[in-house]
Copies of this chain bind each other. A is one copy, B any other.
Amino acid sequence: MKAALGDFTVRARSGAARRGTLTLAHGVVETPSFMPVGTAATVKTLTPHDLVELGAQIVLANTYHLWLRPGLETIAAAGGLHAFMSWERPILTDSGGFQVFSLESRRVLDDDGVRFRSHLDGSEHHFTPENVVAFQETLGVDIAMALDVCVKLPASSEEIEEAVRRTTLWAERGAAARSRPQTLLFGIIQGGLDEGARTRSARALVELDLPGYAIGGLSVGESRAEMDRMTRFAAELLPGEKPRYLMGIGTVRDLLGAIDAGIDMFDCVYPTRCGRNGRALTRGGDLNLRNAVYGRDFRPVDERCACTVCSTFSRAYLSHLFRAGEMLGPRLLSYHNLAVLLDLVAESRAAIERDEWPAFRDASLAALARETPNPT
């Protein structure tokens, strides 16, 4: 039987880790799933063909950035975001809330949304719980995110409570504004590191019976231990039959921890940002390829990696490209770094299916702990 739009099926479990399938308008996403970030309708340096080759099943784009440039009218005229960027698989867009809040002095917040000035040209804009849903439906994406209030940590309990209150109000208004069944609206729970606030946020959003839920407001300044604790706590507040998405997570260690907590989806600029800066992700930890020691190291970036970059080029060659300021360096290393995370989730799915998740997790963490050569 063909799965219906929005269906999420947990096919296997191993500990709290789960292996599922999420059916979206542009295809099925196998979870746990890592979403490469394509902020401005491009996963930086890479083509859609590269992403398919890497096994990416869904990418993330950003409503705030696309709203400002090239503008929704252009993307609508192209036939939607998929056609504009030539990506045929699912897309999730962030609402833009996170980006708007990081403007700080350039934005004013009230219960009706947020007024802000563009970081590009200072022009004024107004995002509301309703219009961000309409914008994302206009983009034609598979998953839209509700507008939320993301608070930097540490924060006072008043700030946390106010963020939870507005995030709840906005999720209700966003849900009521939906008009396109092919675009699923996910809610975002907030609450910082406060278990009570997280619980209230989750309960209110779960009442809306949205097709998926994200944990927002983590990886924003707290320690890894605090993030781990709250990820586990928040994951258990969310319905087991819906996909759980931890926003902004993207190191090997963080992915392992989040999958272990029962999270299904992740996104992060980390692999591609590192790729542009010469920092290589490997199964044994990160390497800074600009380091002189790699200038004559003719091994692949990661000896345990099967990606095209590792089977074709050496650390010495990539090191040369970065030191010479050659754009091929960022391109090759972005590709490899995504391969590491996309392979990690694929291997995690297989380990969960075999009910060998704890052993896979421990072996992967041990490899990281054992090596980490030349961290920068």
* Count of chain A residues with a beta carbon within 8 Å of a chain B beta carbon: 38
**Chain A residues numbered 169-214 whose CB sits less than 8 Å from any CB in chain B:** none
A→B interface (CB under 8 Å): 40-42, 44-49, 69-70, 74, 77-78, 84-86, 276, 295-296, 298, 308, 312-314, 316-317, 319-321, 323-324, 326-328, 330-332
* Bound: A327/B334 CA distance, A: 12
Q: Which residues of B contact A313 (CB under 8 A)?
A: 86
Q: Which residues of B contact A308 (CB under 8 A)?
A: 49
Flag if B46 contacts A328 (CB, 8 Å).
yes
Flag if B84 contacts A316 (CB, 8 Å).
yes
Q: Which residues of B contact A78 (CB under 8 A)?
A: 298, 314, 316-317
* Bound: A323/B69 CA distance, A: 9
Q: Which residues of B contact A330 (CB under 8 A)?
A: 327
Flag if B86 contacts A327 (CB, 8 Å).
no
Contacts A/B (CB < 8 Å), 24 sampled: A40-B324, A42-B321, A42-B324, A42-B328, A44-B328, A45-B327, A46-B328, A47-B312, A47-B328, A69-B320, A69-B323, A70-B295, A70-B316, A70-B319, A70-B324, A74-B296, A74-B316, A77-B296, A77-B298, A78-B316, A78-B317, A84-B316, A86-B313, A327-B330
Flag if B86 contacts A312 (CB, 8 Å).
yes
Q: Which residue of B lies closest to A321 (CB)?
A: B42
Q: Which residues of B contact A42 (CB under 8 A)?
A: 321, 324, 326, 328
Flag if A327 contacts B44 (CB, 8 Å).
yes
Excluding A69-B324, A84-B317, 14 further A-B contacts by CB distance (< 8 Å) are: A40-B320, A40-B324, A44-B328, A47-B328, A48-B312, A49-B312, A69-B323, A74-B316, A78-B317, A84-B320, A85-B317, A86-B312, A86-B313, A327-B327
A314 → B minimal CB distance (Å): 7
A317 → B minimal CB distance (Å): 6
* Bound: A222/B298 CA distance, A: 45
Flag if A44 contacts B326 (CB, 8 Å).
yes
* Bound: A328/B40 CA distance, A: 11
Flag if A327 contacts B331 (CB, 8 Å).
yes
* Bound: A296/B74 CA distance, A: 6
* Bound: A257/B15 CA distance, A: 71
Q: Which residues of B contact A276 (CB under 8 A)?
A: 327
Flag if B70 contacts A320 (CB, 8 Å).
yes
A321 → B minimal CB distance (Å): 6
A301 → B minimal CB distance (Å): 13
A309 → B minimal CB distance (Å): 9
B295, B321, B332: which contacts A74 (Cβ < 8 A)? B295
* Bound: A268/B300 CA distance, A: 31
Flag if A45 contacts B331 (CB, 8 Å).
yes
Q: Top 7 nearest A-B pairs by Cβ distance?
A: A70-B320, A45-B327, A42-B328, A40-B324, A86-B312, A42-B326, A86-B313
Q: Which residues of B contact A46 (CB under 8 A)?
A: 328
A188 → B minimal CB distance (Å): 26
* Bound: A312/B88 CA distance, A: 11
